[in-house]
Structures are given as C-alpha cells and as structure tokens.
C-alpha cells in the first residue's frame, strides 16, 4: 500500500524509484555506495527494498553514537542470520569486535542506515580495515556530516582517501510524478479526489514521497478532509524539520544570522549581501554550509529553500 507509513520493503510498493534501485544493484557489484537525500525522500525504503532483493543485512543506526552501540546493533542483526559472534575471554576493543562481525559477514551486502552520529574517526579506521581485508559490500545513508563527509570528501590524511564510495542522490518527485503517486495511492482505496486537491497537496508539500504518503494516509485511513490532512502533515513535517534545522544551527557560531538569511530567500547573492551587511567570505561560507546540509539550493543565480514545509516554517520562526 503506497500510503503505508512504514518504510517500503518490496519493489511493487516502491513508487518511481526503478532507476535508483537498478543503479544500486549495478554499483554494489563493485563499490560501496552512499544514498543521500533530504528527509522523507525515501532513503530507508530504497535501502530495504534493495537489501531484501539481495539477501542483505539492514542495520538501523539512528541515534547510535558509540562504537559499542554500533557493534551491538550489528551483532543483533547478524544473529537474525544465525551468525553467532561470541566475545573472547579477554576484553578486546569494540572496533576489533566489529571487525570480527564483518569477517563473519563476508560475501554479503550490509546496509547501514543513518550513520551520521557514529564517531567519525573510529568508524573511518574500521571501514578502512574492512575495505582492505573483507569481501563485504556496504551501503550507507545519512546526512552529509560526520562519517558520510569523511567517506565522500576525505582529506588526504583520511584512512579512506582515494576510496570514495559511489553516491546516489534521492530527489523529491517532480510535480507530475507526485500527482501520479497520490492518484495511484488513492486508487488503492477506490478514491478519486478532485484533481485540484491532489495538485494543491503536491504544491504545498513538495514531491517528497514521505509527506505525500502521510497526506494520503490521513485522507484514506484516518478519513480526514483535504484541508485537515494538509494541516496535519504540515504540523508533523514542521516538527521533524524544525529538529533538523536546530541540529544544523546548534553547530554554528552565529545562528541568528542564519535565520535572518533563510528568511530572505529566495534571493540573489547581491540582495543577501546588502540586506545582511556581511562580507563576501562570511556569506559564502554560510551559503555553502546551508547548501551542504541540503537546506537551500542554488537555481541559476537565486538561492532558494526547495522544501515548501521548510519554507513555511522559516517564515514562522
């Protein structure tokens, strides 16, 4: 069911991602892969469908911040494949234990979902060892911070320098695909809401499969009307994206200035420079970090906030 709120697990339920799924199959024959994308673009769904097709192992690392936590999750999932790993009599390091687990998983594909909070340096060292020693294919998802940045943009000193994984970026659906997605989902419930409502939903939520599925679910499963469903998704989306924004701002020297900048968008460079009264280097660094965090995008010479939910919540800040 397209409007199911859990990540999809089967190809038939995964809408409009045939190309990305094939690419994942093709790339993982020889490479490690990072799946990138904003919230609710369907990263977990793509990963799970793929892993089910190749008999791979799915490991959810959301909220895991230590090597110990990583090893425990890995072992928990390995046990599901009847792979038993016991700790030796001497306490060895968590990194060594992780290596043991990987050695037992040779020949498999392992999906590590949401790796962004793991300790970067330990993980990169471990991954280098795994890369050099074991026949294990890895697929990662996470935001472009921590381990993911270490993998995709390694410094020459990084253990994985010269071994960058391939990258698949999940974009929101274009408007027409968003509309088709909703119509296909409604058909599963024998519903045919007016075209204008469907178009308005895509326009105000963007082509994010996650927000669209949530909207469809509110209408078909919860029985809400069009407006109520839109408001419900907005308030849920606002909470999720406010958290994302807070996490981003928490690491900045001058968070208020970022908020001021965001409120000015869409805008061109010169407009921002004038309105904020800051020097070019500072502005360029701010725009760069916002772009890397996938909060803004540059279209031609204009900087915009592509996600309509983020756009609206920024104005309410």
Ligand X SMILES: Nc1ncnc2c1ncn2[C@@H]1O[C@H](COP(=O)(O)OP(=O)(O)OP(=O)(O)O)[C@@H](O)[C@H]1O
Which spans of this chain sit near ligand X (rule: CB under 6 A)? 2, 4-8, 14-17, 37, 39-45, 209-210, 213
- CA dist., res. 120 & res. 33, Å (int): 17
- CA dist., res. 17 & res. 27, Å (int): 15
Partner whose footprint covers residue 8, from ligand X, Mg ion, none (CB < 5 to 8 Å by kind): ligand X
Give the Å distances, CA to CA, from 138 to 107, 128, 215, 297, 315. 11, 12, 33, 29, 40
- CB contact at 8 A, 273 and 283: yes
Q: Where do runs of H (alpha helix) occur along 13-65?
A: 18-27, 43-54
Tokens of 211: 């927000």
Partner whose footprint covers residue 116, from ligand X, Mg ion, none (CB < 5 to 8 Å by kind): none
Q: Could you give the 3-state DSSP secondary structure of residue 24?
A: helix
Cβ at position 140, least distance to ligand X in Å: 13
Cβ at position 302, least distance to ligand X in Å: 26
Partner whose footprint covers residue 16, from Mg ion, ligand X, none (CB < 5 to 8 Å by kind): ligand X
Cβ at position 180, least distance to ligand X in Å: 11
The helix or strand, by DSSP H or E, that contains position 41, with its residue range, turns out to be none
Q: Which is nearer to Mg ion, 43 or 120 (CB)?
A: 43
Cβ at position 35, least distance to Mg ion in Å: 9
Cβ at position 49, least distance to ligand X in Å: 9
Partner whose footprint covers residue 4, from ligand X, Mg ion, none (CB < 5 to 8 Å by kind): ligand X
Cβ at position 47, least distance to ligand X in Å: 8
Partner whose footprint covers residue 42, from ligand X, Mg ion, none (CB < 5 to 8 Å by kind): ligand X
The contact mask relative to Mg ion for 35-74 (x = CB under 5 A, - = no) is --------xx------------------------------
- CB contact at 8 A, 61 and 111: no
The contact mask relative to Mg ion for 1-40 (x = CB under 5 A, - = no) is ----------------------------------------
- CA dist., res. 312 & res. 204, Å (int): 9
285-292 LR contacts (CB < 8 Å, sep 24+): 286/257, 286/258, 286/261, 287/261, 289/248, 289/252, 290/248, 290/258, 290/261, 290/262, 292/144
Q: Which is nearer to Mg ion, 43 or 137 (CB)?
A: 43
- CA dist., res. 232 & res. 218, Å (int): 8
Does 143 engage in binding with Mg ion (CB under 5 A)?
A: no
Q: Name the residues that contact Mg ion, by CB under 5 A.
A: 43-44
């Amino acid at each position: 069911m397209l409007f199911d709120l859990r990540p999809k697990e089967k190809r038939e339920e995964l809408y409009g991602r045939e190309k990305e799924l094939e690419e994942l199959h093709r790339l993982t024959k020889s490479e490690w892969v990072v799946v990138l994308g904003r919230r609710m673009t369907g990263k977990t769904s793509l990963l799970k469908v793929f892993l089910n097709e190749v008999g791979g192992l799915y490991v959810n690392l959301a909220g895991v911040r230590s090597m110990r936590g990583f090893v425990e999750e890995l072992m928990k999932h390995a046990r599901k494949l009847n792979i038993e790993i016991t700790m030796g009599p001497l306490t060895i390091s968590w990194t060594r234990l992780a290596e043991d687990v990987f050695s037992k998983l040779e020949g498999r594909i392992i999906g590590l979902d949401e790796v962004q909070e793991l300790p970067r340096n330990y993980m990169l060292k471990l991954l280098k060892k795994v890369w050099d020693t074991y026949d294990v294919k890895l697929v990662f998802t996470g935001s472009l911070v921590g381990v993911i940045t270490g993998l995709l943009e390694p410094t020459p000193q990084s253990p994985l320098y010269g071994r960058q994984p391939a990258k698949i970026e999940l974009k929101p659906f274009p408007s027409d695909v968003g509309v088709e997605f909703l119509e296909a989902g409604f058909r599963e419930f024998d519903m045919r809401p007016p075209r204008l409502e469907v178009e308005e939903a895509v326009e105000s939520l963007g082509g994010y499969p996650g927000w669209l599925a949530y909207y469809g679910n509110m209408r078909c499963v919860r029985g809400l009307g069009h407006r109520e469903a839109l408001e419900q998704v907005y308030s849920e989306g606002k909470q999720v994206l406010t958290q994302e924004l807070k996490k981003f701002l928490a690491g900045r020297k001058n968070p208020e200035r970022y908020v001021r900048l965001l409120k000015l968008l869409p805008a061109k460079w010169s407009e921002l420079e004038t309105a904020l009264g800051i020097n070019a280097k500072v502005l360029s660094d701010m725009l760069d970090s916002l772009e890397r965090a996938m909060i803004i995008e540059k279209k031609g010479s204009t900087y915009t906030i592509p996600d309509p939910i983020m756009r609206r919540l920024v104005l309410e800040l």
